[in-house]
Amino acid sequence: MVVLTTRGSFAESPEELIRSVPGSCNAVAIVRMADMLKSPRAVKENWAQMASESFMADMGTIPPWVENLVVGFQVRPALQQEVWAAGVASVPDDLTIEKLSQRNQQPVDNIAGFPAISGRGNTLIFGLKPGVLAIWRPAIRQEAVRWANEIAAKITGPNSDYLAATTGIAGHVVLAIDVAGAFDPTRTHMLVNGDQSAGNSEANRQQLQQLLMGTRGAILAITVTDTVQAELRIDFSAPIEQHASELKRFLDMALQQLGAEIEEFTAATPQASGRTLVCNATLSDESLSRVMSLITTSSAMPQSMAAVPASEASSAAPGQQESARYFSAIDRILKDLERANRRASANSPTALWHENFARKIDDLSIQRVDPELVNYGRSVASKLRALGRSLRGQAVAVNAHEGTLTYESNFTPGWASIDLWGGIGAGQPAVNVTSNLQQVRERQAEAIIAGNEQRNTIWGMLKEERSKILAQMQAKFGEKFPR
């Protein structure tokens, strides 16, 4: 669910916006877009113009005309699944449902008395009042109606005090998740006792288990200056004292199981501060793009309201501009991933990022886009998902000559259940992970390494497909395509 709110020069603050997210959210994202665009680097590199151009290309990034954005999520880490997303954001007063209806050629509907349309990325968008739009994802009408009624009754806002307090944390981008009560005691005991790096004494293992079971949540705060500075903090219910390095290993393990590694944090030196584990890092552009994909794949902001210049529109062939934007959006995604992969190790656990970018391609507008380009986009998204599965250890058979991919249908690895979260429905392990945890981890690493050749082949197929479709589009629209 995403809500967009604005009152011109009286844009609502994150402290006000967070009051409208559903109470049951267990994760929150805050983006202070206007402040970020005033940062030294953003001004120097003209991020406002870049954001506008990428947004018009349907990249799903947050447009520069948003002042503040707050998104609430219900996520299930054990299943690596987002249940729903919701939020609130300051937008221009003239960004109305009626204008969005005309722009996106969607009929105006009604959600619990509010004008609404179907949006991109499987969303429902409805207007609460002038300058305030609500966006619910996935587009399940009954859930959107319930949320709209909760807003009207003023019974929204995070039930979690931990999440409610995140608006007081400085940063242009702040992401937080409440994990209180989420760790399964049996899994936690198994992981602590199976970790050969952990202290050998029984007392030390019991302390670690108690600390992990008392984890309150995690907060990532990003501030843009001349560089992109990030602080990741994990909050516990008791002092962590001398356990910083041991707890950092479990943090790395959790991110690896999610396929969400950020190399800068993996290499960061942990610091203990009372009940908090702190890691500081300078993020690359690729890592920042990965973090933002956690927000933008759920936000599904409405399409830009900017009109196409008449001179440009009159000289372009039908569908040329839309096709160029679609192609450029996919190109940006592939380049971000390629740069990130060059910086990462061959078996780096980055499956989540490949899957997120595949969803971004699925969410791109295909209105007036050349059908061959649409097929290309679907093919790219499919291959990014294959890369993600391979990076989780699933066998992928690649036929480069035929350009086809197939998966191992009987994929039930033991490592599917060696996380901290527990969770019914995560899949039954094929081996007894309780007694041979180290062996299971080694088998997962071996499976991921064994897929290196297939992943290289898939990247080769992606490059070949790009060259082929670019040649086709240039033959149709001219050599300057996609410019």
Task: Give the containing element (helix H, strand E) for 174.
Answer: strand 173-178
Average pLDDT, stretch 84-110?
A: 84
- Asked if 301 and 355 sit in the same domain, the reply is no
Confidence of residue 186 (pLDDT cuts 50, 70, 90): confident
pTM over 0.75: yes
Q: Which of 276, 306, 336 is the last residue of a domain?
A: 306
Q: What percent of the chain has pLDDT over 90?
A: 32
Residues 321 and 279 in one domain: no
Mean pLDDT over 193-206 rounds to 72
Record the tokens describing residue 242, joined without a space: 């001398």
Q: Contact, 111 vs 99, CB < 8 A?
A: no
In a domain, 47, yes or no: yes
Whether 331 and 298 share a structural domain:
no
- Which one-letter DSSP state was computed for residue 122? T
| Range of lowest pLDDT (102-111, 160-169, 209-218, 446-455) | 446-455
Say whether both 175 and 37 belong to one domain. Answer: yes
Task: With respect to residue 198, please indicate whether it lies within any of the assigned structural domains.
Answer: no
**Parent domain of 279:** 1-187+215-306
Cβ count within 10 A of residue 261? 22
- Give the chain's mean pLDDT: 79
Residue 137 shares a structural domain with residue 283: yes
Which band of pLDDT confidence, cut at 50, 70 and 90, is reported for residue 234? very high
Strands 132-136 and 114-119: unpaired
Average pLDDT over residues 82-97: 85
119 inside domain: yes
Q: What is the identity of the amino acid at 280? A: N
Same domain for 271 and 338?
no
How far apart CA 198 and CA 150 sit, in angstroms, is 47
Lowest mean pLDDT of 47-51, 322-326, 470-474, name the range: 47-51
pLDDT band at residue 173 under the 50/70/90 scheme:
very high
Residue 193 lies in a domain: no
Better pLDDT: 477 or 135 = 477
The verdict on residue 322 lying in a domain is yes
* Closest of 439, 458, 421, 216 to residue 334, by C-alpha: 458
The predicted model gives 389-408 an average pLDDT of: 74
Q: Are residues 105 and 124 in the same domain?
A: yes
Written as six digits, the tokens of 166 are 């995140």
For helices 452-477 and 320-343, what crossing angle results, to 10°? Answer: 160
* Same-domain status, 19 and 148: yes
| Whether residue 433 is found in the same domain as residue 299 | no
pLDDT band, very low/low/confident/very high, at 435 (cuts 50, 70, 90): very low
| Domain edge (last residue) among 256, 277, 306 | 306
Instruction: Reduce the DSSP state of residue 163 to 3 states and report it.
Output: helix
Answer yes or no: do 415 and 396 share one domain.
yes
Task: Give residue 1's pLDDT.
Answer: 41
Whether pLDDT at 437 is above 70: no
Q: Residue 4 pLDDT > 60, yes or no?
A: no
Q: Does some domain include residue 81? A: yes
**CA–CA dist 178, 169 (Å, integer):** 15
Q: pLDDT at residue 403 above 80?
A: no
Between 303 and 191, the higher pLDDT residue = 191
Closest alpha carbon to 441 in 421, 416, 472: 416
- Note the pLDDT of residue 110: 92
| Total count of domains within the chain | 2
Residue 409, pLDDT above cutoff 80? no
- 202 lies in some domain: no
* Residue 71 pLDDT > 70: yes
End of a domain among 306, 338, 371?
Answer: 306
Strand partners, 86: 72
Together in a domain, 228 and 319: no
Question: Considering the domain boundaries, does residue 194 fall inside one?
Answer: no
User: pLDDT tens, 453-479?
Assistant: 888 889 999 999 999 999 999 999 998
- Do 264 and 349 sit in the same domain of this protein? no
The pLDDT value given to residue 309: 41
